[in-house]
Chains A and B, each alone.
Chain A
Amino acid sequence: QVQLQQSGPGLVKPSQTLSLTCAISGDSVSSNSVAWNWIRQSPSRGLEWLGRTFYRSRWYYDYAVSVKSRITINPDTSKNQFSLHLNSVTPEDTAFYYCTRDRGSYYPFDYWGQGTLVTVSS
């Protein structure tokens, strides 16, 4: 059974970097048949996919246009986890953040982390 355990601060100051980690059990971050995603949810923006990373002989990354200039998703094979870094945050980035897994294009997300509420405020 795959489990995704999120960790990271719930409060970030404006202009700083939001960083969250998703620890994977029951699968490998470097599996060549799945992808690892970050999604967020807020009342104003609804459910918004932010980006993903996946390994197919090398690492690939896809990012949403809305955050492309500010986002980095990093896999960490030594700890079997992946992370989200979103820089230059504003109050608009306040949201629940989720990590998820999918089995590639043509498959929906099948596992979700528990969610982390991140508030951007001074």
Chain B
Amino acid sequence: DIQMTQSPSSLSASVGDRVTISCRASQGISSHLAWWQQKPGKVPKLLISAASTLQSGVPSRFSGSGSGTDFTLTISSLQPEDVAIYYCQKYDSAPWTFGQGSKVGIK
């Protein structure tokens, strides 16, 4: 099975900082990658699909890039409401697998 590895596992940044989270697939998955945001007690929310397609209603400070095995989620200007855990997930073929998550906090 293809494994998804995220880094860092946690980070703290100041409001307004640029934040970058990486996700690496153990084999190529083309652009079949999603980024999810999960806040405490909530169902994960889809931010980005197809590696870089921002979902409707998601703030433009979120962006995604990459293809093949290396992907990046960027928050261009961190806001207090962005405190959450972020997951990458491959969906090219079963089994669907998630990264272990990256916890984003505010300094």
Residue with the greatest number of chain A CB neighbours at <10 A, chosen from B44, B93, B100: B44
Q: Which residues of A contact B (CB under 8 A)?
A: 37, 46-49, 52, 62, 64-65, 98, 102, 105-110, 112-115
The reply on B81 being an interface residue by CB < 8 A is no
A110 touches B46 (CB 8 A): yes
Q: Which residues of B contact A (CB under 8 A)?
A: 1, 32, 34, 43-44, 46, 49, 87, 89, 91-101
B95 touches A64 (CB 8 A): yes
Q: Name the contact of B92 in the complex, choosing from A106, A112, A114, A115 (C-beta under 8 A).
A: A106
Residue with the greatest number of chain B CB neighbours at <10 A, chosen from A46, A98, A108, A115: A108
A108 touches B87 (CB 8 A): no
B94 touches A108 (CB 8 A): no
Chain A, Cβ-Cβ closest to B87: A47
Number of A-B contacts (CB under 8 A): 49
9 other contacts beyond A47-B44, A49-B94, with CB at 8 A cut-off? A47-B87, A47-B89, A49-B95, A49-B96, A65-B1, A106-B91, A107-B49, A109-B46, A109-B96
A–B complex contacts, Cβ < 8 Å, 20 sampled: A46-B87, A46-B101, A47-B98, A47-B101, A48-B98, A49-B94, A49-B95, A49-B98, A62-B95, A64-B95, A65-B1, A102-B91, A105-B91, A106-B92, A108-B34, A108-B49, A108-B89, A109-B46, A112-B43, A113-B43
> How far is A105 from B30 in the complex, measured between Cα atoms in Å?
13
